[in-house]
Amino acid sequence: MGQPGVRPHWWTRAGRELAQRDPRLAPLIECHPPLRIGTRGDAFQTLARSVIGQQISVKAAQSVWVRLADACTEVTPERILSMDTGSLRGCGLSARKVEYLGDLARHFLARPAGIDDWSALDDAAIVDELTAIRGIGLWTAQMFLIFHLARPDVLPLADLGLRRAIERRYSRSRPTSARTLQRLSSAWQPWRTVATWYLWRSLEQVPGNP
Protein backbone atom coordinates (compact mmCIF):
# COMPACT_ATOMS: atom_id res chain seq x y z
CA MET A 1 0.00 0.00 0.00
CA GLY A 2 2.99 2.26 0.40
CA GLN A 3 1.65 3.94 3.53
CA PRO A 4 3.01 4.06 7.08
CA GLY A 5 1.86 1.29 9.33
CA VAL A 6 2.74 -1.86 11.21
CA ARG A 7 3.86 -5.13 9.69
CA PRO A 8 1.87 -8.07 11.11
CA HIS A 9 4.12 -10.16 13.35
CA TRP A 10 3.39 -13.29 11.30
CA TRP A 11 4.19 -11.78 7.90
CA THR A 12 7.85 -12.80 7.59
CA ARG A 13 7.15 -16.41 8.55
CA ALA A 14 4.19 -16.56 6.18
CA GLY A 15 6.20 -15.24 3.25
CA ARG A 16 9.01 -17.69 3.89
CA GLU A 17 6.66 -20.68 4.03
CA LEU A 18 4.73 -19.64 0.93
CA ALA A 19 7.92 -19.13 -1.07
CA GLN A 20 9.01 -22.66 -0.16
CA ARG A 21 5.66 -24.20 -1.08
CA ASP A 22 4.80 -22.30 -4.25
CA PRO A 23 7.49 -21.49 -6.85
CA ARG A 24 5.11 -19.13 -8.65
CA LEU A 25 4.74 -16.96 -5.54
CA ALA A 26 8.41 -17.03 -4.58
CA PRO A 27 9.61 -14.33 -7.03
CA LEU A 28 6.76 -12.02 -6.03
CA ILE A 29 7.64 -12.38 -2.37
CA GLU A 30 11.29 -11.70 -3.12
CA CYS A 31 10.80 -8.55 -5.18
CA HIS A 32 7.95 -6.77 -3.40
CA PRO A 33 8.08 -5.13 0.02
CA PRO A 34 5.94 -6.64 2.80
CA LEU A 35 2.55 -5.34 3.75
CA ARG A 36 2.40 -2.55 6.30
CA ILE A 37 -1.06 -1.95 7.67
CA GLY A 38 -1.97 1.62 8.51
CA THR A 39 -5.61 1.83 9.60
CA ARG A 40 -7.53 5.07 9.36
CA GLY A 41 -9.53 5.26 12.57
CA ASP A 42 -11.50 2.71 14.52
CA ALA A 43 -13.68 -0.06 13.14
CA PHE A 44 -16.74 2.14 12.78
CA GLN A 45 -14.83 4.80 10.87
CA THR A 46 -13.20 2.18 8.65
CA LEU A 47 -16.55 0.72 7.65
CA ALA A 48 -18.19 4.14 7.33
CA ARG A 49 -15.45 5.11 4.87
CA SER A 50 -16.18 1.96 2.91
CA VAL A 51 -19.87 2.80 2.68
CA ILE A 52 -19.09 6.35 1.60
CA GLY A 53 -16.67 5.15 -1.07
CA GLN A 54 -19.09 2.85 -2.84
CA GLN A 55 -19.54 3.62 -6.56
CA ILE A 56 -17.63 6.91 -6.47
CA SER A 57 -13.99 7.82 -7.07
CA VAL A 58 -11.37 7.80 -4.35
CA LYS A 59 -11.07 11.59 -4.64
CA ALA A 60 -14.82 12.12 -4.33
CA ALA A 61 -15.03 9.73 -1.37
CA GLN A 62 -12.26 11.59 0.45
CA SER A 63 -14.05 14.90 -0.15
CA VAL A 64 -17.30 13.53 1.32
CA TRP A 65 -15.42 12.05 4.28
CA VAL A 66 -13.72 15.37 5.08
CA ARG A 67 -17.04 17.21 4.96
CA LEU A 68 -18.68 14.59 7.17
CA ALA A 69 -15.79 14.67 9.66
CA ASP A 70 -16.02 18.45 9.83
CA ALA A 71 -19.77 18.29 10.41
CA CYS A 72 -19.50 15.59 13.07
CA THR A 73 -16.32 16.86 14.75
CA GLU A 74 -15.69 13.13 15.32
CA VAL A 75 -17.30 10.40 13.24
CA THR A 76 -18.93 8.14 15.81
CA PRO A 77 -22.19 6.18 15.81
CA GLU A 78 -23.64 8.63 18.32
CA ARG A 79 -22.79 11.67 16.19
CA ILE A 80 -24.11 10.09 13.00
CA LEU A 81 -27.44 9.29 14.65
CA SER A 82 -27.68 12.76 16.16
CA MET A 83 -27.56 14.42 12.73
CA ASP A 84 -30.66 14.85 10.61
CA THR A 85 -30.92 13.57 7.06
CA GLY A 86 -30.54 17.03 5.56
CA SER A 87 -27.25 17.65 7.35
CA LEU A 88 -25.86 14.31 6.23
CA ARG A 89 -27.02 14.87 2.65
CA GLY A 90 -25.31 18.27 2.80
CA CYS A 91 -21.99 16.45 3.26
CA GLY A 92 -22.43 14.86 -0.16
CA LEU A 93 -24.06 11.59 0.88
CA SER A 94 -26.82 10.04 -1.19
CA ALA A 95 -30.12 9.22 0.50
CA ARG A 96 -29.25 5.51 0.35
CA LYS A 97 -25.83 6.04 1.96
CA VAL A 98 -27.44 8.09 4.73
CA GLU A 99 -29.63 5.06 5.44
CA TYR A 100 -26.64 2.72 5.34
CA LEU A 101 -24.62 4.86 7.76
CA GLY A 102 -27.59 4.99 10.11
CA ASP A 103 -27.91 1.21 10.05
CA LEU A 104 -24.17 0.84 10.63
CA ALA A 105 -24.27 3.26 13.56
CA ARG A 106 -27.21 1.49 15.20
CA HIS A 107 -25.48 -1.85 14.79
CA PHE A 108 -22.32 -0.63 16.49
CA LEU A 109 -24.23 0.90 19.39
CA ALA A 110 -26.04 -2.40 19.89
CA ARG A 111 -22.91 -4.60 19.76
CA PRO A 112 -22.77 -6.56 23.04
CA ALA A 113 -18.96 -6.86 22.82
CA GLY A 114 -18.44 -3.14 22.37
CA ILE A 115 -17.70 -0.94 19.40
CA ASP A 116 -14.21 -2.14 18.52
CA ASP A 117 -13.67 -5.53 20.19
CA TRP A 118 -13.39 -8.19 17.51
CA SER A 119 -10.68 -10.38 19.01
CA ALA A 120 -13.04 -13.07 20.29
CA LEU A 121 -14.66 -13.63 16.88
CA ASP A 122 -13.31 -15.81 14.08
CA ASP A 123 -13.25 -14.62 10.48
CA ALA A 124 -16.50 -16.31 9.48
CA ALA A 125 -18.39 -14.82 12.43
CA ILE A 126 -17.14 -11.32 11.57
CA VAL A 127 -18.15 -11.73 7.92
CA ASP A 128 -21.60 -12.96 8.98
CA GLU A 129 -22.03 -10.01 11.34
CA LEU A 130 -20.90 -7.38 8.88
CA THR A 131 -22.76 -8.66 5.83
CA ALA A 132 -26.00 -8.62 7.83
CA ILE A 133 -25.69 -4.80 7.86
CA ARG A 134 -27.17 -3.03 4.85
CA GLY A 135 -24.46 -1.56 2.66
CA ILE A 136 -21.75 -4.02 3.76
CA GLY A 137 -21.04 -6.83 1.31
CA LEU A 138 -18.68 -9.79 1.34
CA TRP A 139 -15.83 -7.92 -0.35
CA THR A 140 -15.98 -5.07 2.17
CA ALA A 141 -16.06 -7.52 5.08
CA GLN A 142 -13.01 -9.33 3.72
CA MET A 143 -11.09 -6.08 3.18
CA PHE A 144 -11.92 -5.22 6.80
CA LEU A 145 -10.45 -8.55 7.91
CA ILE A 146 -7.26 -7.96 5.91
CA PHE A 147 -6.55 -4.27 6.38
CA HIS A 148 -8.15 -3.43 9.72
CA LEU A 149 -7.87 -6.66 11.70
CA ALA A 150 -4.75 -8.09 9.99
CA ARG A 151 -6.21 -11.58 9.79
CA PRO A 152 -3.71 -13.92 8.07
CA ASP A 153 -5.92 -16.37 6.15
CA VAL A 154 -8.41 -14.36 4.10
CA LEU A 155 -9.05 -15.26 0.45
CA PRO A 156 -11.34 -12.72 -1.29
CA LEU A 157 -12.21 -14.73 -4.38
CA ALA A 158 -14.87 -12.20 -5.36
CA ASP A 159 -12.08 -9.67 -5.96
CA LEU A 160 -11.57 -9.36 -9.71
CA GLY A 161 -7.96 -8.27 -9.38
CA LEU A 162 -7.07 -11.37 -7.37
CA ARG A 163 -8.79 -13.66 -9.86
CA ARG A 164 -7.01 -11.99 -12.77
CA ALA A 165 -3.65 -12.31 -11.05
CA ILE A 166 -4.22 -16.00 -10.31
CA GLU A 167 -5.28 -16.70 -13.89
CA ARG A 168 -2.23 -14.92 -15.32
CA ARG A 169 0.19 -16.75 -13.07
CA TYR A 170 -1.38 -20.22 -12.91
CA SER A 171 -3.55 -20.78 -16.00
CA ARG A 172 -2.04 -18.61 -18.75
CA SER A 173 -4.87 -16.08 -18.40
CA ARG A 174 -7.58 -18.67 -19.03
CA PRO A 175 -10.73 -18.38 -16.89
CA THR A 176 -10.52 -20.48 -13.74
CA SER A 177 -13.51 -21.90 -11.89
CA ALA A 178 -14.16 -21.10 -8.25
CA ARG A 179 -13.63 -24.78 -7.43
CA THR A 180 -10.20 -24.77 -9.06
CA LEU A 181 -9.29 -21.55 -7.28
CA GLN A 182 -10.24 -23.06 -3.95
CA ARG A 183 -8.15 -26.16 -4.66
CA LEU A 184 -5.18 -24.09 -5.77
CA SER A 185 -5.37 -21.81 -2.77
CA SER A 186 -5.55 -24.66 -0.27
CA ALA A 187 -1.75 -24.86 -0.50
CA TRP A 188 -1.53 -21.29 0.82
CA GLN A 189 -3.34 -21.95 4.09
CA PRO A 190 -3.05 -20.58 6.74
CA TRP A 191 -1.48 -17.60 4.94
CA ARG A 192 -3.95 -16.84 2.17
CA THR A 193 -3.95 -13.12 3.06
CA VAL A 194 -0.24 -13.03 2.26
CA ALA A 195 -0.64 -14.88 -1.03
CA THR A 196 -3.48 -12.52 -1.93
CA TRP A 197 -1.36 -9.47 -1.16
CA TYR A 198 1.52 -10.55 -3.37
CA LEU A 199 -0.79 -11.57 -6.20
CA TRP A 200 -2.36 -8.11 -6.05
CA ARG A 201 1.15 -6.70 -6.18
CA SER A 202 1.83 -8.62 -9.37
CA LEU A 203 -0.80 -6.40 -11.00
CA GLU A 204 0.08 -3.33 -8.92
CA GLN A 205 -3.62 -3.09 -8.12
CA VAL A 206 -3.87 -3.32 -4.35
CA PRO A 207 -7.20 -2.26 -2.84
CA GLY A 208 -6.92 0.59 -0.39
CA ASN A 209 -7.76 0.36 3.26
CA PRO A 210 -11.55 0.42 3.33
Of 148, 171, 195, the one marking the end of a domain is 148
Residue 115 near residue 42, CB atoms below 8 Å: yes
**Domain range spanning residue 107?**
43-148
What mean pLDDT comes out for the span 116-122? 85
| pLDDT for residue 86 | 96
* Confidence category of residue 181, pLDDT binned at 50, 70, 90: confident
What mean pLDDT comes out for the span 179-202? 90
pLDDT digits (tens, 9 = 90+) for 37-72: 656 668 999 999 999 998 888 899 999 999 999 999
Give the CA-trace dihedral at 116, 110, 88, 68, to 10 degrees: -10
pTM score above 0.75: yes
Other CB atoms within a 10 A radius of the CB of residue 171 amount to: 13
Residues 141 and 50 in one domain: yes
pLDDT digits (tens, 9 = 90+) for 133-142: 999 999 999 9
Residues 62 and 138 in one domain: yes
| Cβ neighbours for 183, distance < 8 A, ≥ 6 positions apart | none
Question: Which amino acid, one-letter code, is at 167?
Answer: E
Q: Following DSSP, what letter does each residue of 84-139 receive, concatenated?
A: -HHHHHTTT--HHHHHHHHHHHHHHHH-TT-TT--TTS-HHHHHHHHHTSTT--HH
Count structural domains, the chain. 2
